[in-house]
Amino acid sequence: MTVPRVENLRADKWASLTPEERLEALQELENKLAQQRGEQPCLVETIPEEDRDLEDGEIRTRGQYIPSNGGPGTIQIDPGLVSSDQPYQAVETLFHEDRHAYQAYAVQHPEIHDNPEEVEDWRQNLNGGYIESDYAYYRWQPVEADANQIARKRTDELYSGEFQDSEKYPDYRAEKEQEISDDIEYAKTSIGENYQEEARQAMIKKYQNNLEQQESEDYYYGYGY
């Protein structure tokens, strides 16, 4: 699937836009991505002030996907990324969150994805198996590893490929490659050489653990003790 082209996401165009126009450009990208898949697009907005997770004045959550029952969800982006005169991280975050929307859709409609084992991992990951409190497990659990990988690939396709951005994008790309390399080294040191499989196994155990707990609660309440 080719990456959609949205002219206002070119670095030179983006720099001249207002934050509202930049958000519109991100929404247009989301519309085109959803259209390619035959889904309804998510609403794209900035993370509301009350939900911002600040550390030293900087937001530490780049974006989030909020699913909705029975309709398209919402993608929220760090407003600092939208204010930045470089579009790359905002666009990469949009690709990342859009992938989460796709994963959730694929769990509901497994026939759309060509790898059933991957969908089963996503299903467990999104239904009680999600790990948040330890960065190595968080970063390499199936839904996050996949969203990061796809977002990196698509951002490259858009800026190195479609836009032929050879001015500022190569520096951003080098930073991202360093970030990935750091995340791998951190995970190898923290949870072992087989970090991705370790994270996957932990996710499966957490999912099963939750399932057993739910079943035992259902039994307890079901029999009126």
Partner 1 sequence: MYELDKERARKILIDEMKLPVFEVDLFLKGFPPLHDSLSSVVEQWLKDRTIVNVIVEGLSITDVMRKRRSHFLAALRDLNVLLDENVPIEKRQRFKEILKKPVYYQ
Site residues for partner 1 per CB under 8 A: 53, 55-56, 58, 60-64, 93, 96-97, 131-135, 137-139, 147, 182, 185-186, 189-191, 202, 205-206, 209-210
Q: Shortest distance, CB of residue 79 to partner 1, whole angstroms?
A: 14
Tokens 């490929």 -> residue? 161
Q: Shortest distance, CB of residue 69 to partner 1, whole angstroms?
A: 22
Cβ neighbours of residue 143 closer than 8 Å, sequence gap 6 or more: 100, 103, 121, 122, 125, 126, 130
Q: Shortest distance, CB of residue 218 to partner 1, whole angstroms?
A: 19
Inter-residue contact 123 to 182 (CB < 8 Å)? no
Pick the closer one to partner 1 by CB: 21 or 134.
134
Pick the closer one to partner 1 by CB: 164 or 216.
216
Pick the closer one to partner 1 by CB: 30 or 97.
97
Pick the closer one to partner 1 by CB: 81 or 106.
81
Pick the closer one to partner 1 by CB: 74 or 110.
74
User: Biggest alpha carbon distance in the chain?
Assistant: 68
CA distance 46 to 63: 8
Inter-residue contact 71 to 43 (CB < 8 Å)? no
Which pairs with CB-CB distance under 8 Å and at least 24 residues apart come from 164-170? 165/10, 165/11, 167/11, 168/11, 168/86, 168/88, 169/11, 169/88
Q: Shortest distance, CB of residue 166 to partner 1, whole angstroms?
A: 26
Q: Shortest distance, CB of residue 93 to partner 1, whole angstroms?
A: 6
